[in-house]
Structure 1
Amino acid sequence: MLSSLEFPDLWHYAAMAAVVFGAAVAQGVGGVGFAMFAAPVAAMFFPQLAPGPLLTLGGFISLLTALRERAAIDWPAVSYALAGRAVGTLIAIYAMARFAPQALGVLFACMILAAVALSVAGLKFSATPGRVSGAGVASGIMGTMTSVGAPPIAIVLQHAAPPRLRATLGMVLFLGSIFSLAMLALADRYTGYHAGLALSLAPFLLAGFAVSSRLRTLLPPRAVRGVLLVACAMGAVGVLVKSFWVH
């Protein structure tokens, strides 16, 4: 495993590129999946990717996802989620400065797994303003601390039509990632090194997104929801892996 500020050699870089490509395909098809797929691998093998570079790349592909289906963006839901995300980000920065983030990461991961289980069992979460805002708070905390911020909002929006789901979630994650990165930079946890590493991996992200453009139309709404729930579960498990592997 590389140290957090060591630039990867060719083989490690190739492995990073493959992870970014696969995660971009997942994100482009289901609206979520980038950090959920990439964060657990980064926690185990590429610690320099999390959280800053993954937030950068994840924010970029989230913007691409939102713009591709921009007519379907639910702007009221975006505003409610972002209000919550701002609060959650501030909580996360405070927690990272004062406490070990492991406990909060484990708590939120378990909550996401419980929500996925309830969704599979047939319970519907209606996207009320309060629930979307609450999901935004959880997203801000998880996203800033672990780079995996999509599951809380995805759970609340899971019954939306696929274009609305992908576009709305993409815009929330893009704007939320900007705020999270700004706060990380102020806390000296996001530097030029991290930005440069993310930029060097951007071509592989774009390639994965291009592939997803062909695949997304092949999946019916029910399949997209299934992909979303699986991705959320994987993201939660990834947070658990990150918490116990790194600490």
Structure 2
Amino acid sequence: MGLIFLGAFVQTSIGFGLAIVSAPLLFQISVDYVPGPIVLVALFISMLSSFKHRSNIAIGGLKLAVYGRIPGSILGGAILLYVSPATISFTLGIFVLIAVVISLLPFRIEPTPRRMFSAGFLAGFMGTSSSIGGPPMALLLQHQEANNLRANLSAFFVFSSIISLIVLMFIGAMSYKHLLLSLPLIPAAFFGYWSATKLMPYIPRVWMHRTSLLMCSVSGVTAILHSVHF
């Protein structure tokens, strides 16, 4: 529950991060937490955040990213049919560390239509196979004003989480068992969201960003190290 609280807090604060913070360590507790339950919790948080920042959402700019998300999600779901828990754990760790590196990049990438489609595709592949789909879109949109960033990432995650859940249900990776695992996580996620909305005005964005990167790095390295024990 603490991992979900922390992940929801980070995602509400900077626009993404729920799966990056929580998925690698929850996967060590039970492989069933990833990706289905994490994606469902991400959908819940994204809906809350989208509603809060609804006036800042630019649907038109997200359209191509959502289109790219569909084939990416299908490919990500297909991968799950053939990979082992050790491979998933290792991949989770690698995706998290890639996300950290992306967040540190000093240059700006303009969100052209082709790049939006490509980012949506990568987000679909990564999000459906590992629940970590935020980094590609966050990289393209990271220079937006804070509320616009949170709004557009949240709106994209609403659509993308629904697409991923449909694919996961189709391949049997989101069942009644996974739903039962998800339900106890919802209150912790809501509390993390609520806490972030109250504390965001008092937490410097730079401090929050650096702290989240440190936590993500530890989480990613832990997942890679645990992959050798499966």
Alignment TM class, shorter chain as reference: 0.7 to 0.9
Matching of residue 59 in structure 1 with residue 40 in structure 2: no
The answer to whether the aligner puts 1:33 opposite 2:14 as a matched pair is no
Q: Structure 2 counterpart of 1:27, which letter?
A: Q
Give the aligned CA root-mean-square deviation in angstroms: 2.6
Aligned residue pairs total: 225
TM-aligned CA distance change 1:80 to 1:232, over 3 Å: farther
Mapped to 1, the partners of 2:221 and 2:165 lie a distance apart of: 22
By how many angstroms is 1:230 displaced? Answer: 6.7
Write the distance in 1 (CA, Å) between the matches of 2:218 and 2:160.
22
Q: What is the alpha-carbon distance in structure 2 between the residues aligned to residue 232 and residue 157 of structure 1?
A: 18
Structure 1 position 212 matched with structure 2 position 201: no
TM-score of the two chains, using structure 1 as the length reference = 0.80
Partner of 2:67: 83
Aligned to 2:206: 223
Corresponding residue to 2:145 among 161, 172, 190? 161
Q: Distance in 2 between matches of 1:127 and 1:81?
A: 10
Q: Which ranges of structure 1 fall in alignment gaps of 5 or more residues? A: 1-16
Q: Is the 8 A contact 1:135 1:153 kept in 2?
A: yes
CA contact (8 A) 1:40 1:241 kept: yes
Q: Give the aligned residue type for 2:200.
A: R
Residue 44 of structure 2 aligns to which amino acid in structure 1?
A: F
Deviation at 1:106, TM superposition (A): 7.1
Q: What are the superposed Cα offsets for residues 96-117 of structure 1, whole Å, 9 maximum, x if unpaired?
A: 2345665876775565455334
Q: For residues 5-37 of structure 1, what are the alpha-carbon distances to aligned partners after superposition, in whole Å with 9 as ceiling and x for unaligned?
A: xxxxxxxxxxxx111111111111111111111
Tell me whether 1:116 sits opposite 2:97 in the alignment: no
Aligned to 2:30: 46
Q: How many Å separate the matches in 2 of 1:244 and 1:24?
A: 25
Q: How does 1:1-247 map to 2 (within 5 A)?
A: 17-98=1-82, 102=88, 112-117=99-104, 119=105, 122-219=106-203, 223=206, 227=209, 231=212, 238=219, 241-242=222-223, 245-246=226-227
**What's the offset of the Cα at 1:177?**
0.8
Tell me, in whole angstroms, the C-alpha distance in 2 between the residues paired with 1:236 and 1:86. Answer: 29
Kept in 2, the 8 Å contact 1:126–1:156? The answer is yes
- Within 2, Cα distance between the matches of 1:230 and 1:145? 26
Give the Å deviation of 1:202: 1.1
Give CA deviations for 1:148-178 in whole Å, capped at 9, x if unaligned. Answer: 1101100110000011100110111111111
Is the partner of 2:81 in helix, strand or coil? helix
| Cα distance in 2 between the residues matched to 1:44 and 1:183 | 23
Report percent identity of matched pairs.
26
Q: Give me the TM-score of the superposition, normalised by structure 2.
A: 0.85
Specify the code of the residue in structure 2 equivalent to 1:90.
I
**What is the CA distance between 1:50 and its match in structure 2?**
1.0
For structure 1, which segment, 88-97 or 67-76, has the greater mean C-alpha deviation from structure 2 after superposition? Answer: 88-97
